[in-house]
Structure 1
């Protein structure tokens, strides 16, 4: 496997002023800054695709498992780049796709409970090489529980690629096989990452401000 490499975003990184980018009008007052521009996401995703093809090329077919909902855009873009490399290089592998939907957040806090609320029959993973594609690894607890679930189906090999990995004191120390960006302990949205189902329609990864958190918060039950 390629040496683990990723783009580390420093704790003091301020990002970019919203006025430099096209941001939907309905979100302009709810965001602090653009943290990772869409173009940079795409460039990094292409690099990850190259690393994956170099590592997986000539192996048996791969099942790419998308973790919904937050992973769908990264998953689609990553597979598009992999497909292009499969067509245009001498290293290639067959891919099929599966989906699983998890829920672990409410507002900006992890609930501590992992709910599997949708997905295909994971029997399809039995005996296969599996590549799990995730949007963000926060504490790592969700991914470890998902890996335990997947292992119940006895896959041949499992690798994990995540667009983002968060530096947080609450981390259990889990690191995926492929990382796009390592980011500070901020609540980020956009590029399909959400806050209570909002902000998925942003092209860029942004930091949501306190006004945005309050505006789209789910009221706590008594």
Structure 2
């Protein structure tokens, strides 16, 4: 599952990236508001959640948040800020933040808030990921096929989730890599094929269909 961290404090940013990657998330980290806007503007950016600082260079977090909600970008947003007055919290929540956490905070609390927001996001009808007898639990990062639980790696799950979100679309190698890997991750030329092989082995050979020369899509599942 891919998260976007927007935080200009070097120490806080590095701590969060390390902790969240240890939890199995892919984390992209940007340190100013303009770069954050560019990251969110990428079609099918695939972010499950944005951790957004308020006070940022170039564009403030509240500006970014207002624009996201005006454009109906409904990615969950956890606001991270040193602004702790009641009025600040009201402004952040009214702008469209899904949760608000005041600095300094503990990493355990950030993790718990993220899990809570992801559970709420996945619970929305539009976010349900099911296709035939295949069901994904994006919070537990677990797949079930015909009621049988199947353990997938973090990246196998991310690839399968990307395909299930657009079940009739063919996704190219570059589209899948963008959904699976963070910015700083070195990607080998056959990484997508390797992950697909693992998914097919654990679920069924027909789970992912190869459209030669174009990409992959989810197969027919009964």
TM-score in terms of structure 1 length: 0.27
TM-score in terms of structure 2 length: 0.27
Give the structure with the larger strand fraction: 1
Give the structure with the larger helix fraction: 2
